Amino acid sequence: MMFFIFLFGSFALAGPDQDTTKLKPAERKNVALYRKKVTFSEPSYSNLYLRTEEEQATTSDDKQLSVTVLPQPSVKQQLDKHIQNNALIKEVMGYRIMLYSGTSSETATKTRMDFIEMFPNQMLLNNYLRPNYQIKVGNFRTKLEADAFLNSIRNRFPYAFLVPEKVKVR
């Protein structure tokens, strides 16, 4: 009984003026003031340079208009900066093939020699992470390249598998 009176009393204190659904439209707050204002405008083509065929110093009998879009100097500077930054990149995420991973140094050496005998020009990595020896091959940028090479050596190295790893850029 006491709880009901308290609950009823709290609604009575709030009063009808707190409920905005019962207010007259003039008394309600203008919600449009809180909405983001979005404007649309036509695109500007002021940064494009247009040349006619005559300005390009080409001769033609029919007077057709050809348009050549030349980038602004700032675009060329950004492209040059992007090329310079990419030249600094030495490693990217790619794939290698793990030929052997185990604790036996004799098996690791045998696997290494077998692979060098088959592919003398292919890059080979020999890692020792205590207590495991790892023999990895390749610098493949895509999984497709790595998978194609893995399928070609599958009959000689049946337990070889792909490893995602940072590889050197050629």
pLDDT tens per residue, range 153-165 = 999 999 999 999 9
Decide if 130 is inside a domain: yes
CATH, residue 162: 3.30.70.1070
Kindly give, in sequence order, each residue whose CB lies less than 8 Å from that of residue 3, ignoring residues fewer than 6 positions away: none
Give, as one character, the DSSP assignment of residue 160. -
Token code pair at residue 129: 């992470």
Domain hosting residue 131, numbered range = 91-168
pLDDT tens figures, 43-85: 565 555 555 556 555 544 555 666 777 767 787 888 888 888 8
pTM for this predicted structure = 0.52
DSSP 142: S
Domain count, the chain: 1
- Quick one: pLDDT at residue 122? 87
Indicate whether 15 belongs to any domain: no
Q: Is residue 153 part of a domain?
A: yes
The answer as to whether 122 is a domain residue is: yes
Residue 73 lies in a domain: no
CA dist 121 and 149 (Å) reads 14
d(CA 62, CA 53): 10
